[in-house]
């Protein structure tokens, strides 16, 4: 059986570049440990949390909530909060307010802020909830 012969150095270089660079093209998912919200969002979220959420939910509530969502995409939690809170008027806040409140909750749970704002339309589905 005769094996194929590559006749040019260009063919070999092309094949090798696919092996070397092919795996770096795939985007990697993030976790909550990767700074997925900004400090400004967390600060804005604190204001909304204090006026809307704190009456029913203290921060220990969110510790247990995050554990129950472990290994799930963050956007699932965001959608659940948006669809069920506040309890007396679910979905009544602006999308940004829900996002900011989630950033504040994550901040209070010890997750680091980063440089890029948390955005449900920009990759929140690729952020995994990973808690200790």
Domain ranges of the chain: 30-128
Task: Name which residue leads in pLDDT, 4 or 34.
Answer: 34
| Strongest mean pLDDT among 8-12, 13-17, 43-47, 87-91 | 43-47
Residue 127 has pLDDT above 60, yes or no: yes
* HSE-CB of 26 using CA atoms within 13 angstroms: 6
Residue 68 has pLDDT above 70, yes or no: yes
What is the pLDDT confidence band of residue 26, given thresholds at 50, 70 and 90? very low
Share of the chain above pLDDT 90, in %: 72
Task: Name which residue leads in pLDDT, 75 or 5.
Answer: 75
CATH code that applies to domain 30-128: 1.10.760
Name 105's Cβ contacts closer than 8 Å, sequence gap at least 6.
Answer: 45, 49, 59, 62
Residue 42 has pLDDT above 80, yes or no: yes
pLDDT score recorded for residue 132? 77
């Amino acid at each position: 059986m005769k094996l194929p012969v590559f006749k040019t150095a260009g063919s070999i270089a092309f094949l090798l570049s696919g092996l070397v660079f092919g795996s770096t093209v795939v985007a990697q998912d993030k976790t909550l440990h990767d700074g997925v919200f900004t400090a400004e969002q967390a600060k804005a979220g604190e204001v909304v949390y204090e006026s809307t959420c704190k009456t029913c939910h203290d921060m220990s509530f969110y510790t247990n909530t995050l554990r129950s969502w472990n290994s799930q995409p963050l956007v699932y939690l965001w959608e659940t909060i948006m669809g069920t809170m506040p309890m007396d008027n679910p979905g009544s806040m602006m999308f940004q307010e829900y996002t900011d409140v989630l950033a504040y909750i994550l901040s209070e749970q010890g997750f680091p802020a980063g440089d890029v704002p948390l955005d449900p339309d920009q990759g929140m589905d690729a952020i995994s909830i990973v808690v200790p």
